[in-house]
Amino acid sequence: MENFVFQNTTKIIFGKGTEKSAGAEIKKYSNKALLHYGGQSIKKYGLYERVIKSLADTGIEFIELSGVAPNPVLSMVEEGIELCRKNNIGFILAVGGGSVIDSAKAIAIGVPYEKGDVWDFFMGKAKAEAAVSIGVILTITAAGSESSVVSVILNEKTQMKKGYHSSLMLPKFAILNPELTYTLPAFQTACGSADIMSHIFERYFTQSKNTDLTDRLCEGALKTVVENTPIVLANPENYDARAELMWASTLAHNGLLGTGRIEDWGSHKIAHELGAVYGITHGAAISVTFPAWMKYVYKQNIGRFKQFAFRVWGVDPCFGDDESIALEGIKKLGDFFKEIGLPTSLKELKIGDDKFEEMALKELQWGPIGNFMKLQKEDIVNILKLAM
């Protein structure tokens, strides 16, 4: 087990009707908030009214910035920073999924950074030293951004999608009401599950030795997602299955499952490239990229992939030799993605091989990616070919 420091201070407020507590939670930090959200869906089902009422009941003034789209963009972050500065905003409430939360996080660190552009942080040119406090009402079970220290933003001008890490961006609270995810379309629900699983994979597939406890926690979370996703797809208003996915999505990315382990994050970077260049939904990029990455790297540690096959997918230990068992586990993951309606090849997304080298080079600006296996240009191109 590796040495580590773990601290996650986000207050999780979980369950039915919990969005009512938003105003009281914000009040601890400020009387003036930016209400940040995506499209009209939060208005369609009454959530918007409930949030507004909670703010009004606690005397919190607010202004709005809506229109965040998947793969949240720098231009809207910059707009949010200006709005917050002009209106003396002391709190940002993100109502939505990972894109809205990531956008809110970037705004939060951008507001007090007057000597440069917020993109500096994402390009490694500056380090955030202060942030506006943020809180979350989660409506999409996927990104885990509600209690993570990461924000991923797309710079539309350069077509670069980059992440930045800072504990300053950790939300003060995250309101998780599974009912708010009832209206998510099936495809988006499935993409969310792929995203949750990918956050666990990035921690699970490690070369760190002696990681018994976190292995088992990862496996338990994966099995929970595998068992509950089909239930939710068959019955979108199954509260308990929605609740399992929601809590799993948060725990998958709050740092706990990576304690004592060197994490990977190679596949995520490749998936982010697919998002940046082709605008495909992150979860779909994940379902295409991960099985390909696994097929490419499993020989680096067959024992780990055997364990994955056995403990997560229930592959019979007598199925064959270690390599066959490992490959069967990877196959089962691909089968699962297909079963829940996700693409598992670039062809299905109508993406050809013409930009593979370009994408690889863009990801390699800061050196090889990934830790389970360090990926160079040739490796990334090969993985993308396996994903065809």
Binding positions for a second copy, rule: CB under 8 A: 1-18, 209-210, 212-214, 216-217, 219-221, 223-224, 227-228, 239-241, 243-244, 247-248, 251, 256, 259-260
**Between 150 and 170, CB nearer to a second copy:** 170
Nearer to a second copy, 13 or 118 (CB): 13
By beta-carbon proximity to a second copy, the closer residue of 260 and 341 is: 260
Return the C-alpha torsion angle 198, 204, 205, 207, nearest 10. 150
Grouping H, G, I as helix, E, B as strand and the rest as coil, residue 152 is: strand
| Min separation Cβ 218 and a second copy, Å | 9
We find the least distance from the C-beta atom of residue 205 to a second copy, in angstroms, to be 17
Amino acid in position 46: G
Give the nearer residue to a second copy in terms of CB position, either 213 or 388: 213
**Cα separation of the two ends of the chain:** 36
Q: Could you tell me the smallest distance in angstroms from the CB atom of residue 185 to a second copy?
A: 23
**Tokens (6 digits) for 162:** 């980059």
Q: Are 142 and 97 in contact (CB under 8 A)?
A: yes
The residue among 25 and 363 lying less far from a second copy, judged by its C-beta, is 25
DSSP secondary structure string, 346-357?
A: TGGGT--STTHH
Residue whose CB is less far from a second copy, 97 or 255 = 255
Q: Identify which of residues 209 and 350 has a Cβ nearer to a second copy in the complex.
A: 209
Residue closer to a second copy, measured from CB, 244 or 379: 244
Q: How far is the CB of 12 from a second copy (least distance, A)?
A: 4
Q: Which residues sit opposite 35 in a β-bridge?
A: 64, 93
Helix (H) or strand (E) holding 164: strand 160-165
Measured from the CB atom, the residue of 14 and 45 that comes closer to a second copy is 14
Q: What is residue 375's DSSP assignment?
A: B
The helix (run of H) or strand (run of E) holding residue 74 is: helix 74-87
Burial-class residue 303 by CB neighbours within 10 Å (0-12, 13-18, 19+). Answer: exposed
Nearest to a second copy of 216, 374 (CB atom)? 216
Q: Which two tokens stand for residue 312?
A: 């997560």
Neighbours of 130 (CB within 10 A): 10
Contact yes or no for 65/36 (Cβ under 8 A): yes
89: helix, strand or coil: coil
CB of 221 to a second copy, least distance (A): 6
Smallest separation, CB 63 to a second copy (Å): 28
Ramachandran category for residue 300: left, alpha or beta (phi over 0 → left; psi -120 to 50 → alpha):
alpha
CA angle 31, 81, 79 (to 5 degrees): 120
Residues 175 and 136 sit within 8 Å (Cβ to Cβ): yes
H or E stretch covering 153: strand 150-155
Q: Give min distance, CB of 385 to a second copy, in A.
A: 36
Half-sphere exposure (CA, 13 Å, Cβ side) for 80? 34
| Distance in Å, CB of 320 to a second copy, minimum | 22
